[in-house]
Amino acid sequence: MEEQVHKYQKLGDFTNSDLSTLKNVNLQLNQYQIDDYELNLIKICLSQCTKLEALTLAFSQKNIQDNQIKLLFKDLPLFKNLQSLTIELLSNKVSEKGASVLAQYLQKCLKLKLLVLCLSNNNIQPAGASKITEAINKIEGIEDNKLGDDGAYAIGLGLNNWKNIISLKLYLFDNQISEKGVSNIAKGLGSLTQIQILGISFLRNSIGDEGSIALSQGLIKCQNLRELELYLGCEKITEQGYLKLDQCLSGLANLITLECYFYKQIQLLKSKDILNCKNIKVLSCFFAYDQTDLEQNQYLINMQKIKRLVKIKKI
């Protein structure tokens, strides 16, 4: 949307605005520890934004709990013109009850074209994850929770319902997911045949060759994929598992841009399949903190052997 973004970092600036004319609201209340009174005031003011088309609520690290999620979202209007919604609730105290309330609201937002939901570092467990995955069309950042394999299974089922989605970021850092969990998610990914932009992170989970092979089998079905972020960093994956991933990546005919995480033991992007691939043209490398400059440069030199590569960079 091309509408002017009205960004507010002070609650008073928002409440004193001409609310009925606002179409794109971005509330970034970084200086506040929000209490119940302020949340209710925000809801009252939002109710007056009858022309709203895009909304961002950035309330990270505010000690927000389930009862406050209910206070804000239970009777929040649906905004008949709302197409873009971003909710950032990183590092709060949201659990299953709060996730359920949020899911109930999201299920009513039928005209959304873009949804970004950031819930990193809360206490959302499998039951809460299941409710959210029934509602959302784009996940960005369900990391540092305790989803486990049951939560991963719920996400996998949810992915089967989003077959027309074109952009998805699934960051599952440190969620106690094993081979079984990643296999279920991989099956769901395989149903996203229209997807063009995908971000996946399984860092600090317990995934080995079985999981990497399942992931390869799911990704290879995403033949419209153009951009991929792939963050694995799982020490249980052996050369065999990475070979399957290489074969998958080289087989994605439309994949142009690839971003990967590299650490000392990783064998990703080292096979003949990758060196001879005809698709990847832009490669971004994110290195583990304990790798020396010499080790990083050696990786970059090796990556330059990819035949069709146009650009390589370190991030």
- Global pTM reads 0.64
The number of distinct structural domains making up the chain is 1
**109, 131 in Cβ contact below 8 A?**
no
Domain contains 163: yes
Burial pattern 31-49, b for ≥16 Cβ within 10 A else e, equals: eeebeeebbeebbebbeeb
Domain contains 6: no
Domain contains 249: yes
Domain contains 19: no
Q: Could you tell me where the DSSP H helices lie in 80-201?
A: 96-106, 126-135, 148-159, 179-189
Q: For residue 311, what are the β-bridge partners?
A: 282
For residue 110, what pLDDT band results from cuts at 50, 70 and 90?
low
CA 293 – CA 110 distance, rounded (Å): 49
Q: Which pair of structure tokens corresponds to residue 163?
A: 């077959």
For residue 211, give the CATH number of its domain: 3.80.10.10
- Nearest residue to 312 (alpha-carbon basis) of 260, 266, 268: 260
Q: What domain range includes position 164?
A: 55-314
For residue 40, what pLDDT band results from cuts at 50, 70 and 90?
very high
Domain contains 86: yes
Domain contains 15: no
For 143-192, what is each residue's pLDDT tens digit?
555 556 666 666 666 677 667 678 787 777 676 788 888 888 899 899 98
Domain contains 154: yes
Cα dihedral value 149, 154, 160, 165, nearest 10:
-100
- Nearest residue to 82 (alpha-carbon basis) of 27, 25, 4, 162: 25
Q: For residue 199, what are the β-bridge partners?
A: 169, 229
